[in-house]
Amino acid sequence: MLRDITLGQYYQTESVIHKLDPRVKLVATICFIVSLFVVKDWVGYLAAAVFLAVMIKLSNVPFKYMIKGMRAIVFILLITVVFNLFLTPGEVLWSVWKLKITKEGLQLAVMMAVRLSFLIIGSSVMTLTTTPNSLTDGMEKLMRPLKIFKVPVHEVAMMMSIALRFIPILLEETDKIMKAQMARGADFESGNLIKKAKALVPLLVPLFISAFRRANDLAMAMEARCYRGGEHRTKMKPLKYAGRDRAAYGVLAVYFAMCIVIRIYL
């Protein structure tokens, strides 16, 4: 179950999207998310869907992989849909006891579901096609202006890339501890929510201890390899915009302008 989270998991393959500058992909993802909130009708969502579909096609990542990330938010998705479905006032379509489904509610629920799933799939396209390292490189460069306000941009980027690197390792470890505890009679499955939460304590304590130990080791290994923060550091893969990046910015601008036009005139 824990292995299903694809967010932050790079999918190795050759594609145009993989080759794009991470900054372009970051900006594009943000624009795409904003555009989902800009558009309000079906034409707009259709535009977003087409844009997303083209990106997925271009990325060469199997669609199955994108959907995997959705499993993590199924619960949130359900809550949103249910709330919108039953709590929106308007023309009643169907009612049982005190619950009413309205036409507006139905519309809103579907829209919210589409919006949320597009949001997740959209960001999955970015994380699946960009190595976390280049992603944090991109963030570091995009956020460089914040340095004026004494924001430790490099350090934050480094922390993020390390966190991402350790996700699979810690998941594996969780799995191992879980099995070890189950072998000694721990029960993670049965009982109500409170009981289940309590059962997690003997899982989390050793996990945290091991995470701290790993952090300590890693810090030492980094220091041993001359790491001393962002100063004097050169890049193995420096970010440089190429022709395709400019073209991508162009496509993005057209898409975003279209969304705004749809919102205003339709």
The residue type at 198: K
The interface region with other proteins, picked from 26-34, 120-128, 163-171, 198-206 by CB under 8 A, is 163-171
**Least Cβ distance, residue 129 to other proteins (angstroms):** 13
Q: Which helix (H) or strand (E) holds 37?
A: helix 22-38
Helices (H) and strands (E) in the chain, counts: 11, 2
Other C-beta atoms within 10 Å of 202: how many?
A: 16
Of the pair 16, 47, the CB lying nearest other proteins is at 16
**Least Cβ distance, residue 134 to other proteins (angstroms):** 9
By CB under 8 A, what part of segment 9-68 binds other proteins?
Answer: 10, 12
Residue 238 as a binder of other proteins (CB under 8 A): the answer is yes
Residues that bind other proteins (rule: CB under 8 A) add up to a total of 30
The residue type at 243: G
The strand pairing partners of 101, in sequence order, are: 94
Residue 150 as a binder of other proteins (CB under 8 A): the answer is no
Question: Residue holding tokens 């976390």?
Answer: 132
The site map against other proteins for 118-137 (x = CB under 8 A) is -------------xxx----
**Least Cβ distance, residue 234 to other proteins (angstroms):** 5
Selected binder of other proteins within 150, 194, 232, 265 (CB under 8 A) = 232
Residue 21 near residue 241, CB atoms below 8 Å: yes
Residue 135 makes CB contacts below 8 A (sequence gap 6+) with 22, 25, 26, 126, 127, 161
Residue 69 as a binder of other proteins (CB under 8 A): the answer is no
The site map against other proteins for 208-227 (x = CB under 8 A) is ------x--xx-xxxxxxxx
Token pair in block for residue 195:
């009981």
Of the pair 46, 220, the CB lying nearest other proteins is at 220
36, 199, 227, 217: which is closest to 116 by C-alpha? 36
Query: Which parts of this chain interact with other proteins (CB under 8 A)?
Result: 10, 12, 131-133, 161-162, 164-165, 168-169, 214, 217-218, 220-228, 232-238
